[in-house]
A and B are shown apart, each in its own frame.
Chain A
Amino acid sequence: MPSSIKLSYLLHKLKSNLFTIGFFIPAFLYLVSFFVIILVFLLKFSFSEGIPFLELFSANEFKAALWRTFWFMGIATPLQLVVGLLLALLIQQSYKGVGMVRSFFMIPIAIPALVTAIIIDLVFSYPFGPINDLLLGRHGFFPQITGVPVNWSGSEFLSLGLAILGKTWRDMPISMLILLAGLQTIEREQYEAARTMGAKSWQEFKYLTLPLLTPAILTILILRSIENWKEFIFPFILAPAYPLLGVLIERLYHVEQNPALAASVALCLVALIGITTLIFTFITKMVRKYLVRV
């Protein structure tokens, strides 16, 4: 008799757990199986089809793309941080119409990245476009800056600069929101205390806001550097002649029809992101320690 009680208890437990499992499993199974598929495909393609990684690393095309991506990440990340901080400071306090301003600051993230890239391409078109018209001094109100129209997509520096501009424009709201959340955790009393001690607003920013905002700033640096490593759409549209790693993957897959090589570059990109994240996490820990000690 006891065994049957035990059995029914077990059955009951299984039944109730089955319910939990049944509820939990759908999305979990979908996401994890895709995770496994992606990982296995990338590894299998990169290693089993005889792609010599050393050869890939020494290929000029890959090396150039790697350097470009590195510079793209290295310039775009701090730029996005500064822009995000400016925007967050502008909408942090409450004043008349702040809600409206905030809504307008959110617009860029709503515009599809592809559309943003294409509009920038149109605005900076060569030889005749609105920006070139301005720089050539063809509008009365603007001084002439250059004698010949600027060919934006023809220069590595300028076309990648445009890609950084586009990426920064589109992702402004993300950095802004994270920094805004960070700013709002700083208590009002601390500012009041600083003010009674005679701190000027610049000093307040330097000695109070910035140190207390450090966690949010580090979060942004991690998230943005990941995001910038893997950027594809803006350089794809604005700097097709100077491929970043993402653009190189697309080209290897579609133009050269070489999925194995594309997969190995894709795997390199994953590894780079992993390494960057590790480095930044380490820095974050060190900075936290330092902050606590002070």
Chain B
Amino acid sequence: MKSLRFILICLVLFFIIFPLFMMTKYSLSDRESIVTGGKYPEPFFPFKPNLEMFEALSVRKDFAGAGLTSLWVGLLAVAFSLFLGAPTAFALARFKIPGIAILLFFLLSVRLFPDISAVIPVAELLLSRPFSLLPPVILVGLAHTLLALPYTVYIAKGVFESIPKDLEEQAHVLGAGKARTFLKILTPLALPGLGAAAIYTFFLSWNEFVFAYFLTFQGTQTTLPVYLLRILTWSPQKNFISAISLVICIPVIIFTFLVQRYMKEGLTAGAVK
């Protein structure tokens, strides 16, 4: 039994690592290792591993532009969704609201639409006046806020529920109003949990493709995943594409290991009773 488990784990790990290995390998490959012309099989390790592709990327202005756009879109999505979501989560966690189940359903309802269906109306709306006057960074940020907000509310609700109510009562006794209690007592306590929601939102935005693709279809300014697709259609060079892919993946992989606990909560939210 134990050896069977060991073998299965090794197989699954191989299955998981293989594409990542190939991506890394291609990104370090020299020309001979990827353009074989059918004379010899593609090697499992590049003949002459090098960092040329990353050097080429580091001087490309369009790549830096896409990276910055991704960064700004992510930060905007984090700011919007925390600013909108944290108070709502607090209200859900603390106040008695009549008909709360229906309200909760409405909060999540927008995610019932498939992304590819929802993106048509959202693109039609945001790409027509007056919204189209806004810079694309803000448009994509607004769309990503729409995707992340339900999760933000859900995570932040849990965070506020975990803070003991006594603290608020004591603050109230000492004469602090509700708004002041929220800002001065609860927010600092909730910050680590809200930070997790922020990281979750940031990487949701960093990885997101569909909305960014539709909203920046015609412009030059775009996010990293859409930039990757454009490079794929213009010059499908295995090593260059893999280098871009790797640069997109590295921050996400690192943070997955760091915030796994919260990712789990976000992924399985409401799934198991």
Residues on A lying within 8 angstroms of B by beta carbon are 19-20, 22-28, 30-32, 34-35, 37-38, 40-42, 45, 86-87, 90, 101, 103-116, 118-120, 122-123, 125, 127-130, 133, 138-139, 169, 172-174, 177-178, 181-182, 185, 201, 215-216, 219, 223, 229-230, 232-233, 246, 249-250, 253-254, 259, 262-263, 266-267, 269-270, 273
| Residues of chain A with a CB closer than 8 A to B15's CB | 169
Count of A-B residue pairs with CB < 8 Å: 239
The answer to whether residues A201 and B1 also contact, given A27-B85, A38-B110, A114-B209 and a CB cut-off of 8 A, is yes
B219 CB within 8 Å of chain A: no
Judge whether A110 and B1 touch: CB under 8 Å. Answer: no
Residues on B lying within 8 angstroms of A by beta carbon are 1, 5, 8-9, 12-13, 15-17, 19-20, 22-23, 26, 36-38, 40-42, 44, 81, 83-85, 87-92, 95, 97, 103, 106-107, 109-110, 112-118, 120-125, 145-146, 149-150, 152-153, 178-179, 182, 203, 206-207, 209-210, 214, 217, 225, 228-229, 232, 238, 241-242, 245, 248-249, 252-253, 255-257, 260, 263-264, 267-268, 271-273
**20 contacts across the A-B interface (CB closer than 8 A):** A26-B87, A26-B88, A31-B110, A32-B109, A35-B110, A42-B117, A42-B120, A104-B16, A106-B260, A112-B206, A118-B245, A119-B23, A119-B242, A122-B26, A174-B267, A177-B268, A219-B272, A254-B217, A259-B124, A269-B117
| Residues of chain A with a CB closer than 8 A to B241's CB | 118, 122
Q: Give the CA-CA distance A142 to B62 in the complex, in Å.
A: 42
| Residues of chain B with a CB closer than 8 A to A122's CB | 22, 26, 238, 241-242
Judge whether B242 and A41 touch: CB under 8 Å. Answer: no
Judge whether A177 and B267 touch: CB under 8 Å. Answer: yes
Residue of A with least CB distance to B254: A110
CB of B121, distance to nearest CB on chain A (Å)? 3
Judge whether A34 and B110 touch: CB under 8 Å. Answer: yes
Query: Would you call the interface of chain B mostly helix, strand, loop, or mixed?
Result: helix
Q: Which of A107, A119, A120, A178 contacts B16 (CB 8 A)?
A: A107
| Residues of chain A with a CB closer than 8 A to B146's CB | 30-31, 34
Judge whether B256 and A232 touch: CB under 8 Å. Answer: no
Judge whether A181 and B272 touch: CB under 8 Å. Answer: yes
| Residues of chain A with a CB closer than 8 A to B225's CB | 112, 114-115
The answer to whether residues A24 and B248 also contact, given A31-B109, A114-B209, A114-B225 and a CB cut-off of 8 A, is no
CB of B237, distance to nearest CB on chain A (Å)? 10
| Residues of chain B with a CB closer than 8 A to A125's CB | 238
Residue of B with least CB distance to A30: B84
Q: Give the CA-CA distance A268 to B52 in the complex, in Å.
A: 48
Q: Give the CA-CA distance A86 to B214 in the complex, in Å.
A: 37
The answer to whether residues A129 and B178 also contact, given A34-B110, A119-B23, A249-B116 and a CB cut-off of 8 A, is no
The answer to whether residues A27 and B116 also contact, given A20-B95, A219-B272 and a CB cut-off of 8 A, is no
Q: Which of A34, A112, A182 contacts B248 (CB 8 A)?
A: A112
| Residues of chain B with a CB closer than 8 A to A185's CB | 272
Judge whether B22 and A130 touch: CB under 8 Å. Answer: yes
| Residues of chain A with a CB closer than 8 A to B238's CB | 122, 125
Residue of B with least CB distance to A216: B272
Q: Give the CA-CA distance A178 to B16 in the complex, in Å.
A: 19
Q: Give the CA-CA distance A57 to B72 in the complex, in Å.
A: 42
Q: Give the CA-CA distance A19 to B12 in the complex, in Å.
A: 52
